[in-house]
Amino acid sequence: MWVLESERLGFRPHEAADLEAFCAMEADAEVRRYVGGTPRTREAAEERFWNTTMQPVEDRLAMWATVLKSENRYVGRCGLYPHLSDGVRVAGEAALAFYLAREFWGRGLASEAGQAFVNFGFGELKLARIVTAVDVRNDASVRVLEKLGFRLAQLERGPRSFYHFELVRPDGRAGAA
């Protein structure tokens, strides 16, 4: 059932039963504040769910349904997805993201999910580098990334400014991703 699991979390493909929890997160202004800026309408959230989230995954790089195992409850989506540069996939690299319902903030779940995917990316997928971008106002996510060992690689300034972080494979060797 699980693509990956950590102590408290299981990661699996999204299911139709995840729709209500997914749409609730997309409608929450606090959850969306740093990832798009505004809540999504129900119609837009459903479209994203069916046309993006529910699409088949072939290479294990995806945003997976994230389930709190003790309650068998959908709490968000986390994962590694292809890192693109100028629209082209960067070989040996992936981007990390964690997106959790507000009710589950402050419990260490983002750190736990992040660590699980870092281990997965370097251990199983043999990635050379994992990257991520975070809104500069999102102090909580910045702390999670720093705890995971990510280093600031670049600051992107604009109407919305972002920190770009990277984590290089500890042994410095890339495998076949």
Domain 4-168 fold is Aminopeptidase (3.40.630)
Task: State pTM to two decimals.
Answer: 0.90
Q: What is the DSSP annotation of 57-107?
A: -SSS-EEEEEEETTTTEEEEEEEEEEEEETTEEEEEEEEEEEEE-GGGTTS
Report the C-alpha gap between 93 and 165 in whole angstroms.
13
What is the tens place of the pLDDT at every residue in 85-138?
Answer: 888 989 999 999 999 999 999 999 999 999 999 999 999 999 999 999 999 999
Q: Where are the domains of the chain?
A: 4-168
What is the tens place of the pLDDT at every residue in 38-94?
Answer: 899 999 999 999 999 888 887 889 999 999 999 999 999 999 999 988 889 899 999
**66 and 11 Cβ atoms separated by less than 8 Å:** yes
Helix axis angle, 139-147 relative to 109-123, nearest 10°? 40
